[in-house]
Amino acid sequence: QDEDKWDFVLVSNIREMGREKESKRKNFLDELSKKGFTIKKIEDKNLFYGVRAPRQIFCKYQWLLGDPDSRLQNDILATTRIRIVNFILQNTMTPDGEKLHNLMKKKVFKAAFPLHKEEEREFLKQRWARWRDIFHQQPIEKIRCYFGEKVALYFTWLGWYTYLLCFAAVAGLVVFVAGITVFSSSQVSREICEASSTVMCPLCDQHCPFWLLSDTCTYAKITHMIDNEGTVVFAMFMAIWATVFLELWKRKRATVVTNWDLYGWDEDEEELALQLINNLQHEPRRYQHSYFRSTVVLLLVLVMIAVLIGLAHGLVIYRVVATALFSQSELQFFREQANTVAVMTGAVLHYFTIVIMTKVPRRPRALLPSPEKPRTFSQRENNFTVKIFTFQFFTNFSSLIYIAFFLGRINGHPGHYVRVAGKWRLEECHPSGCITDLFIQMAIIMLLKQTISNVVEYLLPWIKHKIHKKQQRPKKRNVMLGEEEEEAEDPCKRQWLRNYQLNEVNVFSLFDEFLEMVIQYSFTTIFVAAFPLAPLLAFCNNLFEIRLDAIKMTRLCRRMVPRKANDIGIWLQVLEAIGILAVIGNGLVIAITSDFIPVLVYKYTYSPCMVENSTGVDCSTGYINHSLSVFRIQDFEPDTKLPQMLPDFVGDEIKEYRDYRNADDYSYTVQFWHIFAARLAFLILFEHVALCVKLIAAWYVPDVPQAVKNTFLERKHSNLRKELRWVMSRRC
């Protein structure tokens, strides 16, 4: 029965039978034979080599790392078997000093993969990898037994994240619906809608007319539907939610890995054991660190961030130019909605920029050197994760950071605008604030990522699988390595061909899935104050994402090499860093982007309620006039083409714009500095309160459940009792 089981399959191109490649292939297979591997060769359009490891390799592993009670067992888990064989294949060296990855780079071998087991695979197809099971619980134990602990932990984490997103989604939906209820009742938006006599400065230098503030009534209502008191409460809620989610995940992870008996698993010990099994003369690689390499990495990271900031500047320039062009359009809709159209098209352009930048080379050494020479694969993966995540984070959020914190604040004022290339002036915020621009940007990016990207993520592997399947035409010849014999049909041939026709997987396959979800987690938490529907969109996406990943792994892709793990690695630290950034980001959005602080300062300092002691009026009455400054037409820059006056305001030489400036010299007013101080005070207060609440929540929810601690206590007690009884029996 074991003769029909093969641990791995190596594939070579039959058309590239050059003497050098054939010699390298033979040398590698000879080295495997010396280690006791059985090798079977099947010739088709490609050369297939099935390899099976000798039993003594797994006996060594069991004696080195197995429990004393399991050393006498004959069976070893299939995932463990594949992992050991893969390690030996990757670390077997030819007389020329080449390993398998070197030979694959030189096209000596074109593929190396473990085989799917049809019975277990079919179970996962029917119970897990189906769209109809979208609301069913995942068979985590079966996933672990087939794909290994690393994949099982990913789906456990994704399921847990999706489950807790349900609460954040409900809270965000409640806040959004509450905002809809005040769509027309906000005093601030009502003042804008009634400001039919307030004339505003042109939005561009050429062909842009003066305009009435009341023309933007609908935009103002939408802004105050998003920007209200509920935003502050929801931002605080999400800061607490992010902390509770991570603390509860730590408890969940501790319970899961304890059930797998991996809580105290040591990766270093595992890799040292595998190295000794592969080569008894192996010497361990020592930990190394170079301050010079660390400095180089730091400089390269700064250069990388500078490049991404440059890309953000490109998007800014596009929006500036697009606003000017749309303002001069022959179509009335584009002229009237030039700024909104520029924002929406800029968001679409940002999405395609994200798609392009995610295709950067995924080779760690090609991107950035490692400051340390890591000993294990997990350490190399952790270093790589930090670099790639930093790159992708700035790619996704550079434009959002500009809109949230710089849009409308660095553009100058009428008569002294800041310009791009001395020609196009920077954008301005709407009199009701910039938060709607941030809302539109996040909504478009998240919707596109969760529709187009997911469709492409599924269709591309499906199309590649169908094309690859059609290209394979099996022949009818079988050759045993060392002796040839003709057979009508080999039972292994069909299985090997079916597996080869599936899409290739690599060490980055699971990394890409984690990266996608962590970036989504960033969108869900960091700027959620501006887009309370983000958790709801993420929740709906994840319901499909779990099944999409399952379908790819079981139906469309070759079997992943199982990886042993007892946590999600460096991703936990990344998630904790995002939680801190979420507190800072949402605090800045409320303090800087939102009009919450200016309205609050006006209510309690300059409103009729405070100045005139009026009690029968809304305390925000008069806020819009208070937030606008006046500008004399004769102070326009010389190159500005003065637009035609509105018919009802001929002869009026004073127009208005959003800012707190004096009418005589355009310097900042006292109100500006009051609001600036209030913004700073709120930011400090919000962040300290949120961080304190996060610390209290982290303390209140223990990382390890008491049941897990009691389990380990009982195991230690039982082991000590067994040892004591053994010692006492020996003395007797």
Q: What is the pLDDT of residues 451-505, one digit of tens each?
A: 888 888 888 888 887 887 777 655 444 444 444 444 446 778 888 988 998 998 8
pLDDT digits (tens, 9 = 90+) for 133-142: 888 999 999 9
Name the residue among 82, 124, 96, 90 with its Cα closest to residue 21: 96
Q: Return phi, psi of residue 504, to 5°.
A: -70, 145
User: Lowest mean pLDDT: which of 13-17, 69-73, 208-212?
Assistant: 69-73
**Can you list the positions of beta strands (E) in 510-653?**
628-632
Q: Print burial letters for 381-402: b (CB count within 10 Å at least 16), e (below 16).
A: bbbbbbbbbbbbbbbbbbbbbb
Note the pLDDT of residue 16.
Answer: 63
H/E segment holding residue 726: helix 706-731
Rounded-to-integer distance, Cα 393 and Cα 300, Å = 16
Q: Give the range among 271-280, 364-373, 655-664 with minimum mean pLDDT.
A: 364-373
Radius of gyration of the chain (CA): 32
CA gap 580, 583 in Å, rounded: 5
User: Is 575:161 a contact under the CB 8 Å cutoff?
Assistant: no
Look at residue 171 and tell me whether its pLDDT is greater than 90.
yes
**Mean pLDDT to the nearest integer, 294-312:** 81
User: How large is the average pLDDT for residues 207-231?
Assistant: 83
Count CA within 13 A, CB hemisphere, residue 673: 5
Q: Tell me which residue of 657, 616, 617, 614 sits closest to 635, measured CA to CA.
A: 657
Average pLDDT over every residue of 202-211: 74
**Which two three-digit tokens encode residue 184?**
């027309």
Residue 69 has a pLDDT of 47
The pLDDT value given to residue 364 = 43
Q: What is the DSSP string of 135-179?
A: TSPP-HHHHHHHH-HHHHHHHHHHHHHHHHHHHHHHHHHHHHHHH
Distance CA 350, CA 448 (A): 11
Mean predicted confidence (pLDDT) in 335-339: 76
Tell whether 26 is covered by a domain.
yes
C-alpha distances (whole Å) from 174 to each of 171, 230, 237, 533 are: 5, 9, 12, 9
What's the rounded Cα separation, in Å, for the pair 542 and 553? 16
15 within a domain of the structure (yes/no): yes
pLDDT at position 650 over 80: no
Q: Within a domain: residue 510?
A: no
The pLDDT value recorded for residue 88 is 93
Question: Is 100's pLDDT higher than 50?
Answer: yes
> Is there a domain that residue 539 lies in?
no
Q: Is residue 717 part of a domain?
A: yes
Q: Is residue 65 part of a domain?
A: yes
- Identify the weakest region by mean pLDDT among 37-41, 270-274, 610-614: 610-614
- Split into its structural domains, the chain has a count of 2
Of the residues 87, 115, 143, which one is the last residue of a structural domain?
Answer: 115
Q: How far apart are the first and last CA of the chain?
A: 47
pLDDT at 362: 52
| Pick from 66-75, 185-194, 566-575, 686-695: least confident | 66-75
> In the prediction, which pLDDT does 515 show?
92
The predicted pLDDT at position 547 comes to 93
Of 471 and 526, which is predicted with more confidence? 526
Q: In what order do the strands lie in the sheet containing 483-484?
A: 111-113, 8-13, 46-52, 38-43, 478-480, 483-484
Question: Cα separation of 82 and 562, whole Å?
Answer: 7
- Paired strand residues for 479: 41, 484
Coil vs helix vs strand at 632: strand
Placement of tokens 């995924």 in the chain: 362
Q: Which residue has the higher pLDDT, 28 or 433?
A: 28
Token digits of residue 307: 């490049």
Mean pLDDT of the chain: 83
Distance CA 545, CA 636 (A): 54
Structure confidence at residue 308 (pLDDT): 78
Residue 88's Cβ-count burial label (10 Å; 0-12, 13-18, 19+) is buried
Cα distance between residue 231 and residue 296, in whole Å? 42
User: Residue 355: is its pLDDT beyond 90?
Assistant: no
Which residues are CB-neighbours of 159 under 8 A, at least 6 positions away? 137, 138, 140, 546
Stretch 59-75: mean pLDDT, rounded?
67
Domain contains 3: no
The C-alpha atoms of residue 220 and residue 59 are separated, in whole angstroms, by 73
Please give the average per-residue pLDDT across 671-687, as a whole number. 91
Q: Report residue 67's pLDDT band, with 50, 70 and 90 as the boundaries.
A: low
Band (pLDDT 50/70/90 cuts) for residue 4 is low
Give the domain extent around 28. Answer: 8-115
End-of-domain residue from the set 78, 94, 115: 115
pLDDT interval class at 614 (50, 70, 90): low
Written as six digits, the tokens of 486 are 């003709």
Q: What is the mean pLDDT of residues 643-671?
A: 72
Give CA–CA dist 553/676, Å, rounded.
53
pLDDT at residue number 477:
47
DSSP state of 668: B
- Residue ending a domain, among 67, 87, 115, is 115
Cα gap 644→377, rounded to integer Å: 68
Mean pLDDT of 316-345: 79
pLDDT value for 372: 54
Is the overall model pTM greater than 0.85, yes or no? yes
The pLDDT tens digits for 357-382 are 877 645 444 444 555 566 677 778 88
- Tell me, rounded to whole angstroms, the distance of Cα 338 from its chain centroid: 32
In a domain, 32, yes or no: yes
221 pLDDT band, cuts 50/70/90, is confident
